[in-house]
């Protein structure tokens, strides 16, 4: 039951409001002065105070509550209502403003609205606290020396606004590291906006990133801010930055250099304050050599590079990760389960081409298809058809087949698995979409053919 504090020097009105609120299901405290109200305001969920009081007035009471770090919403009531007074009250932090004479039904409506806003704010605060805990280093599993070194670097990097470039294979945890940087920075209470550059169609990328004005194109019935504006004062993560086409790379460079942008269909310059964290699972230096990535943009992004090692290079982390995922899946399924020594040995012997993401999937799949309580080697269901990145050619190259022909077979297989989606196929191959297009043109395969093969 919510508790409301009424602060009103007119006893009759105070009593009427008290009875009305009590009949609506609230617990009610009352005070005739602001000084009296301050003594037990800390237990109130909401304060309803007259603006004109003997001694300290309502605005001064509001200021005193804020000095006590109280987040209790305050509704101010006055007989001297005016636009100017309302503006002063709202700017001072009042939740709402009611002018005498008022109906009790109207007051109840305002009270319910203020309590709903507080509930949403409290829930948001709780979620942010939970996220902050989730992205503390103690909750990011990495006992290996390589990961400990990364954590130490993040500690130094996070408080700054410097641009960070995260490199590493798909599934190594770049998203988790990016969020850890954000939640250890002064921007932790501001937006974190993740942009998957591979998922954005090229013809929509500009409008999604930078926004658009009404009428900028067919279907633009209203203006819409882009991802960068949504991240203003916070952090934006550009995932798979290597897949950004050259035309958008130029605009990204301007955002990084000038901290400003223009919406599609507008010539108005908008200044933004964002921290950029870029991530890539391909070597951007190769993209530079291929001419698919701008050199000036690369050096703007590569201010603070962090290379996240693949799981096969930090196998000491596997037991801790496996235990974490087993507990997580077991709790979700309400089925107690552990992993035995033989099961763990099987996990340690595998190369994990899909890295942590693949380990999590294997654990979940194994538990779902498992009826016992202890996972052993025969219960661990690995995807043995996958080949880890970096495997030697002699281990799988058919005898007598040329490299060019083998490359064509690989590209066609990637396109088949991706159902013709070039972005997805490029990701499977570990190259950029533009690099794939170049290879397709060298093979004499155009876009239309690629979509049907």
Q: How confident is the model at residue 394 (pLDDT cuts 50, 70, 90)?
A: very low
Across the chain, mean pLDDT equals: 84
Q: In a 3-state reduction of DSSP, which class is residue 77?
A: strand
More confident residue, 186 or 66: 186
CA-atom Rg of the chain in angstroms: 29
Superfamily of domain 3-129: Response regulator (3.40.50.2300)
State pTM to two decimals: 0.61
* CATH number for the domain formed by residue range(s) 313-379: 1.10.8.60
Residue 102 exposure: Cα atoms within 13 Å on the Cβ side = 21
Q: What fold, for 137-307?
A: Rossmann fold (3.40.50)
The gap between the terminal CA atoms of the chain, to the nearest Å, is: 64
User: What is the model's pLDDT at position 271?
Assistant: 93
Looking only at the bridges linking them, the beta strands covering 192-196 and 235-239 are parallel
Q: How confident is the model at residue 71 (pLDDT cuts 50, 70, 90)?
A: confident
Q: Which residues fall within 8 angstroms of residue 49, CB to CB, at 6 or more apart?
A: 6, 7, 8, 34, 37, 58, 61, 62, 74, 75, 76, 77
- Among residues 7, 176, 180, which one has the least CA distance to residue 78? 7
The pLDDT tens digits of the residues spanning 131-153 come to: 544 545 555 788 888 888 998 89
The pLDDT tens digits of the residues spanning 200-216 come to: 888 889 999 999 999 88
Q: What fold, for 393-452?
A: Arc Repressor Mutant, subunit A (1.10.10)
Q: In a 3-state reduction of DSSP, which class is residue 239?
A: strand
| pLDDT value at 129 more than 70 | no
How far is residue 195's CA from residue 192's CA, in Å, rounded to a whole number?
Answer: 10
* Domain positions in the chain: 3-129, 137-307, 313-379, 393-452
Type and span of the H or E element at 262: strand 260-262
Q: Which residues fall within 8 angstroms of residue 270, CB to CB, at 6 or more apart?
A: 229, 260, 261, 262, 263
- Among residues 256, 244, 240, 235, which one has the least CA distance to residue 300? 256
Q: How far is CA 207 from CA 191, 220, 266, 362, in A?
A: 19, 10, 11, 38
How far is residue 95's CA from residue 77's CA, in Å, rounded to a whole number?
Answer: 11
The answer to whether domain 3-129 and domain 137-307 are alike in fold is yes
């Amino acid at each position: 039951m919510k508790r409301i504090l009424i602060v009103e020097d007119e006893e009759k009105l105070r009593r009427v409001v008290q009875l009305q609120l009590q009949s609506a299901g609230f617990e009610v405290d009352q005070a005739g002065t602001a000084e009296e109200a301050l003594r037990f305001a800390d237990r109130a969920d909401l304060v309803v105070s007259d603006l004109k009081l003997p001694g300290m007035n309502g605005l001064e009471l509001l200021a005193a509550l804020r000095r006590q770090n109280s987040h209790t919403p305050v509704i101010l009531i006055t007989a001297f209502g005016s636009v100017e007074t309302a503006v002063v009250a709202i700017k001072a932090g009042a939740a709402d403003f009611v002018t005498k004479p008022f109906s009790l039904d109207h007051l109840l409506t305002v009270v319910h609205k203020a309590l709903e806003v507080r509930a949403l704010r409290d829930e948001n605060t709780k979620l942010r606290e939970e996220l902050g805990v989730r992205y503390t280093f103690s909750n990011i599993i990495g006992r290996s020396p390589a990961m400990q070194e990364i954590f130490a670097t993040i500690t130094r990097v996070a408080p700054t606004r410097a641009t960070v470039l995260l490199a590493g294979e798909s599934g190594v945890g770049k998203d988790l590291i990016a969020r850890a940087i954000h939640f250890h920075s002064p921007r932790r209470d501001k937006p974190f906006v993740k942009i998957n550059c591979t998922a954005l169609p090229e013809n929509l990328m500009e409008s999604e990133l930078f926004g658009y004005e009404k009428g900028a194109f067919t279907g633009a019935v209203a203006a819409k801010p882009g991802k960068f504006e949504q991240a203003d004062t916070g952090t934006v993560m550009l995932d798979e930055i290597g897949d950004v086409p050259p035309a958008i790379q130029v605009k990204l460079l301007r955002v990084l250099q000038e901290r400003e942008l223009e919406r599609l269909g507008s010539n108005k310059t908008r200044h933004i304050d964002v921290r950029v964290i870029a991530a890539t699972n391909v070597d951007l230096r190769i993209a530079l050599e291929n001419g698919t990535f701008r050199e000036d943009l690369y050096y703007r992004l590569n201010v603070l590079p962090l290379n996240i090692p693949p799981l096969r290079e930090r196998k000491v982390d596997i037991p801790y990760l496996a235990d974490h995922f087993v507990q997580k899946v077991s709790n979700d399924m309400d089925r107690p389960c552990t992993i035995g020594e033989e099961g763990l040995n099987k996990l340690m012997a595998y190369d994990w081409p899909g890295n942590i993401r693949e380990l999590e999937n294997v654990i979940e799949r194994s538990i779902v298809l498992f009826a016992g309580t202890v996972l052993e080697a025969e219960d661990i269901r690995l995807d043995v058809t996958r080949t880890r990145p970096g495997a030697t050619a002699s281990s799988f190259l058919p005898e007598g087949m040329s490299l060019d022909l083998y490359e064509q077979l690989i590209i066609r297989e990637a396109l088949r698995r991706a159902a013709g989606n070039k972005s997805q196929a490029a990701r499977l191959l570990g190259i950029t979409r533009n690099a794939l297009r170049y290879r397709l043109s060298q093979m004499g395969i155009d876009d239309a053919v690629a979509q049907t093969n």
